[in-house]
Each structure stands twice: as structure tokens, then as C-alpha cells.
Structure 1
Amino acid sequence: MSANKPPLLGNITPIIPAGGNMEKAIAFYEKQLGFTKIHQEGNPIRMAIVKRDSAEIILQQNDDRHLAESTTFLIQVDGIAELYEEFLAQDGGIIHPNGKLESKPWGMKEFKIVDPAGVCITFYELERSNN
């Protein structure tokens, strides 16, 4: 590595509380959000990794509802309108009532879902500048 080359950060993989029922959490991420389980640990399952495209999430058994409801993260998307329609078509109930698809003043088009444990996930796409 060159001494003049600055460090480059890559993808982030959050570890999130998945509630007390890991099977239910994994099923939600697979069936509702289109992720695939790529790893799991424990019998019963204590931890699982789910992935969709470049987005990877580590689900950790933890039924502290307060912790889950205080956890939020964003996933960048190319094709936000199509993803929103995908989620509406299968179960529009996963879209947060205050998180419908809309453009925000900070230059993002976004929508929110809440998983069964209470974790809020914002899917967003950067909007093109008119400059």
C-alpha cells in the first residue's frame, strides 16, 4: 500500500437486535425484504447473517425491545421506487406509516420499514442534482 494513498472505507455491516425468535426474524428478512441467510450460529440460532446484493446485516438474538426500537440504520439503493413497489406488492404493511416514499430536503428519496423486533431501516437513493 502506498504511503500517499488515503484509507478507503467500504461497506458497513450492522449487528442488530433481532428479538427473541430468530426463526421469525430470519423469515422476515428473507420473505419480506428479499435477503438470503448466508450464515447462522447456535442451536437454537443465536446469530445469523443475511445478505441482499451488497447489503449485509448480522441478526443477533436479543429480545430487549427498547434496544431494538432505538436501533436504526440506512441502506443505499439504486432503484428506490422499484424497491418500494416490490415491498408494497407483497405486504404494504411493512412500510412505516410515517415512512412512505418521498423526497427529502437533504437530497435523498427514502422510505422506512420497521422489522418485527422494532428496528427501523431507511432505504434511500441520492437524488440527482440539477446543477
Structure 2
Amino acid sequence: MLTAIHPKLPMRNKAATRDYYVNQLGFRQLGSVDYDGYLMLEKDNIQIHFFEFKELDPKENYGQVYIRTNDIDNLYQSLLNNKVKIHPNGPLQTKPWQQREFSLLDPDNNLLTFGQAV
């Protein structure tokens, strides 16, 4: 039986990725071992893993993750309060598919979309 999913996204710079997710989005580093070229982060009940890809061209990166939440309004406001840049085409709004969603881009252009059922 399937119990969880931990997406793997590319990163160019481990320190920059860690800084963004920890200090901007409120994640924490998972585990006590610092693996070379690999980063595992966690917030609440989700994990996102990152693999080093130094040659990544952010303009050609199509990494995407859809993260469900049960308090999208407070999450959105907390990110705004923390001055996290929201995707220009992704402010919080109710979509025709009955989800309230917003999106942002991390330093490597990975798209993070947060959603909650209406």
C-alpha cells in the first residue's frame, strides 16, 4: 500500500535552497546527516527532497509540486508577511476545479502550488 510521496526536485546551490525553504517557507532540514549534493526538508506532514544539478538552467526547469493544505488562507498570509514572492500568475484564488490555490517559484524555478478544496 502507498503511504507517502516525497518529490525530488533539482537544485543548483544547496545552501541557497536550504535558506529559501527554511527561512522563507518554514521548513526544517530532515535528519542529522548532511549528504553531499542531496537535501531533505520537511514541514508538517510533507517532505521535499532535492538533488544537486549545478548545470540546471532555471529557465528550462519544469519541476513542479502540488501541496495540499487545510488552511490555505493563513498559509498564504504568513508567506506574504514573510515577504515571500508569490508567482506573478499565481496569487490566491478559487479555481474552476473547486480548489483555492496559489503558487510560487523557488530559487531554481521549481513551481510550488498550494491548494485546498473549496
TM-score of the pair, normalised by structure 1: 0.82
Cα deviations by residue, 1:42-79 (Å, 9 ceiling, x for unpaired): 2xxx1010000111000111131258621111000010
Match of 2:112 among 105, 109, 121: 121
Match of 2:86 among 95, 101, 106: 95
Structure 1 unaligned regions, length at least 5 = 1-6
Matches within 5 A, 1:33-44: 33-39=25-31, 40-42=34-36
Quick one: which amino acid aligns to residue 65 of structure 1?
A: D
Corresponding residue number in structure 2 for 1:24: 16
Corresponding residue number in structure 2 for 1:53: 44
Of 63-72 and 95-104, more deviation after overlay is shown by: 63-72
What is the number of equivalent residue pairs in this alignment? 115
Q: Which structure would you say has the larger RCO, counting Cα contacts within 8 Å and 6 or more residues apart?
A: 2
> Does the aligned pair in 1 maintain the 2:10–2:51 contact within 8 Å?
yes
Over the aligned positions, Cα root-mean-square deviation in angstroms equals 1.5
Structure 2 unaligned regions, length at least 5 = none
Structure 1 CA distance, aligned partners of 2:66 and 2:57? 20
Name which one, 1 or 2, has greater alpha-carbon Rg: 1
> Does the aligned pair in 2 maintain the 1:30–1:37 contact within 8 Å?
yes
Quick one: which amino acid aligns to residue 14 of structure 1?
A: P
Matched-pair identity in %: 28
Are 2:7 and 1:14 equivalent residues in the alignment? yes
> Does the aligned pair in 1 maintain the 2:58–2:108 contact within 8 Å?
no
Structure 1 CA distance, aligned partners of 2:89 and 2:95? 13
Match of 1:85 among 58, 68, 77: 77
What secondary structure is seen at the aligned counterpart in 1 of 2:101?
Answer: strand
> Does the aligned pair in 2 maintain the 1:68–1:117 contact within 8 Å?
no
